[in-house]
Amino acid sequence: MSNVKYYYDPETLSYRKITTDKKTKVRYTLGFIFASALFGFFMVLIGSQYFESPKEKILNRELQNMELQYTLLSQKVNEIEDVLGNIEERDNTIYRLYFEANPIPDVQRTQGFGGVNRYNKFEGFNNSDLIAEANKRVDILQKRLVIQSKSLDEITALAKDKENFLLKIPAIQPIKNEDLTRMASGYGFRTDPFTKIRKFHYGMDFTAPRGTPVYASGDGIVKRADSRSSGYGKHIRIDHGYGYVSLYAHLYKYNVRKNQRVKRGDIIGFVGSTGRSQAPHLHYEIFKDKRRINPLNFYYGNLTSKEFNDLLAKASVENQSLD
């Protein structure tokens, strides 16, 4: 079909052929191309808003996967924080309390890090606040773990020391109940058997036959085994550490020597009546930081509740001592 076009001329009352010069053709062609390009650009722009490219699909899948991983990580951190919080609570209210250590303040365990902003390197990224918060939680969690680890190391050391302390502290009656004739005199004011004057008696007197075994009341080192102290006769002093010393006086003979290490329950000597003594018996004293204290508080290791109550009743009677 011919592309020739005509128009009607009213002046001549006839049809005339439409002619187009080259410039007009070029202008029309360029206008068409420009319009087509502009249309295509807008179509691409609109399409990019509603349709993903293959690369964008991959990136979006990676982003979704990262968000899922963050959610799972956050849940695990929450679980670890709960478990650690429970350990910290038991550490403060049970372990440290039992071993007489000061509790660690919560602010010391959970406070953040001061000074320069440690998380400014995450600024400018998408979800930068989320990333920074996650790193902050992990840093604080790591710090809490370090503090708790050091606390458990301290508790372990205290436990070992406590075990050592419990072995060394005087904790048993130095003569077995079945070997006793009677508990003759307790700690406190008593009548002196020689002067008949009321004075303070700094130990406990256990009456028993001559030669009855005397036992070390705790682990320690024999510091003295001699008769050079006035009034005590043959006697033994054991240094238990932690400021505790036990003394066993008026012995018949020794079963240990100076500087010898002894264990609780070892036979260290035998009942006698040497020194300032009226009859065979053991005079027993305990020192704490060089001060004499009531031995009655240190018999929990080998007496039943009934035996201890009986001993307490007898020791409370103000009578005449044997030394």
CATH number at residue 202: 2.70.70.10
Q: Are residues 199 and 299 in the same domain?
A: yes
Q: Are residues 184 and 262 in the same domain?
A: yes
Please tell me the distance from the alpha carbon of residue 143 to that of residue 137, in angstroms, as a whole number. Answer: 10
Q: Are residues 239 and 262 in the same domain?
A: yes
Q: Which amino acid is located at 200 in the chain?
A: F
Candidate from 183-197, 280-294, 295-309 with smallest mean pLDDT: 295-309
Average pLDDT along the chain: 82
Is 252 inside any structural domain? yes
Candidate from 63-67, 164-168, 268-272, 288-292 with smallest mean pLDDT: 63-67
Q: Are residues 89 and 156 in the same domain?
A: yes
pTM: 0.61
Apex 314 CA angle, 266 and 265, nearest 5? 5
Q: Are residues 71 and 107 in the same domain?
A: yes
Q: Are residues 181 and 291 in the same domain?
A: yes
Q: Specify the 3-state DSSP secondary structure of 171.
A: coil
At 1 the pLDDT is 47
Residue recorded with tokens 């053991």: 282
Please tell me the distance from the alpha carbon of residue 161 to that of residue 166, in angstroms, as a whole number. Answer: 9
269: β partners: 214, 254
Is 323 inside any structural domain? no
Q: Which of 140, 168, 196 is the last residue of a domain?
A: 168
Q: Taking residues 248-274, what's their average pLDDT?
A: 96
Is 17 inside any structural domain? yes
Q: Which amino acid is located at 201 in the chain?
A: H
pLDDT digits 0-9 by tens, 28-43: 777 777 777 776 666 6
Is 236 inside any structural domain? yes
pLDDT digits 0-9 by tens, 90-135: 888 777 877 778 888 887 777 766 555 666 666 666 666 777 777 7
What are the CA-CA distances from residue 87 to residues 90, 121, 246 (Å)? 5, 33, 40
How many C-beta atoms surround the C-beta of residue 97 within 10 A?
Answer: 13
What is the total count of domains within the chain?
3
Contacts 24+ apart (CB under 8 A), 93-102: 95/155, 96/151, 96/155, 99/155, 99/158, 99/159, 99/162, 100/158, 101/154, 101/155, 101/158
Helix boundaries (H) for the chain: 22-50, 54-90, 96-98, 106-110, 128-168, 305-315
Q: Are residues 307 and 181 in the same domain?
A: yes
At 113 the pLDDT is 60
Q: Are residues 189 and 293 in the same domain?
A: yes
Tokens linked to 151: 């606390």
Q: Taking residues 219-247, what's their average pLDDT?
A: 94
Is 322 inside any structural domain? no
Q: Which of 136, 168, 200 is the last residue of a domain?
A: 168
Please report which confidence band the pLDDT of residue 292 belongs to, taking 50, 70 and 90 as the band edges. very high
284: β partners: 204, 248
Q: Are residues 262 and 162 in the same domain?
A: no
Burial of 249 (0-12, 13-18, 19+ CB in 10 A): buried
Is 12 inside any structural domain? yes
Q: Which amino acid is located at 88 in the chain?
A: E
Q: Are residues 193 and 307 in the same domain?
A: yes
Q: Which amino acid is located at 56 in the chain?
A: E
**Phi-psi category of residue 275: left, alpha or beta, with phi > 0 → left and psi -120 to 50 → alpha:** left
Alpha-carbon dihedral 300, 304, 306, 307, rounded to 10 degrees: -70
Is 321 inside any structural domain? no
Burial of 190 (0-12, 13-18, 19+ CB in 10 A): buried
Is 1 inside any structural domain? no
Q: Tell me if 280 sits within 8 A of 208, measured CB to CB.
A: yes
At 83 the pLDDT is 84
Q: Are residues 204 and 153 in the same domain?
A: no
Domain residue limits at 123 = 55-168
Q: Are residues 262 and 275 in the same domain?
A: yes
Residues 6+ apart with CB under 8 A from 289: 243
Of 287, 271, 288, give the one whose Cα is nearest residue 322. Answer: 271
Helix boundaries (H) for 91-237: 96-98, 106-110, 128-168
Q: Taking residues 148-153, what's their average pLDDT?
A: 87
